[in-house]
Amino acid sequence: MLFAFGILCSCENDVKEIESLSQKKNEPLSRGKNVALIYSEKSNVKINITAPLMEEYGLEESKYMEMKEGIKVLFYDSLMNVSSTLIANYAINRVADKIMEAKDDVVVVNDKGEVLHTEHLVWMQDSFKIYTDEFVKITTVDEIIMGEGMEANQDFTKWKIHKIKGIINLKEESDSLKTN
């Protein structure tokens, strides 16, 4: 009996060691190349996500997908026109939390031609909002606005910069020194 107990303890330790080794390795459960995900609502396409490489990790409550080679997200309006585009060199989608983070040269462009540049952007899929606490630069038709932190709706048609650091007006002013 004592001998069997010793073997049982040894097996439990082996199982724990195997589990810890497999967790350290963190191999993906699935991997896809040139992946396209389409989100629709009442048969209307709302979002199209494409990535050259998508890897899925974790179990249901901790499931996440990594796009290590970049991501492109197209947001559509009710008429199936692209209302905005998000591009980044890296993204992670935490499925259970319904949060996607885009990192490394994140660019968002809306249908008005306004362009957001940042290094980190969080998309709260439940509330349809995007935000960052990082440095942002937004270029509009008239100006370039820089600051720390920003929040917007997910299609980037309404936005607000938190700590504005500077505004550069792009409208050409007439030369006040010029004489006719």
Look at residues 124, 112, 111, 32 and name the one whose alpha carbon lies nearest to residue 75: 111
Look at residues 98, 104, 101 and name the one whose alpha carbon lies nearest to residue 128: 98
> How far apart (Å, rounded) are the C-alpha atoms in residues 97 and 164?
30
pLDDT in tens, 44-97: 888 999 999 999 998 777 889 999 999 999 999 888 899 999 999 999 999 889
| Segment 135-145 mean pLDDT | 93
> How far apart (Å, rounded) are the C-alpha atoms in residues 13 and 31?
31
DSSP assignment of 37-91: EEEEETTEEEEEEEEEEEEEES-GGG-EEEETT-EEEEEE-TTS-EEEEEEESEE
At residue 151, the pLDDT reads 96
pLDDT in tens, 5-51: 333 344 455 545 545 555 556 788 889 999 998 888 888 888 999 99
Three-state DSSP class for residue 14: helix
pLDDT in tens, 99-129: 999 999 999 999 999 999 999 999 998 998 9
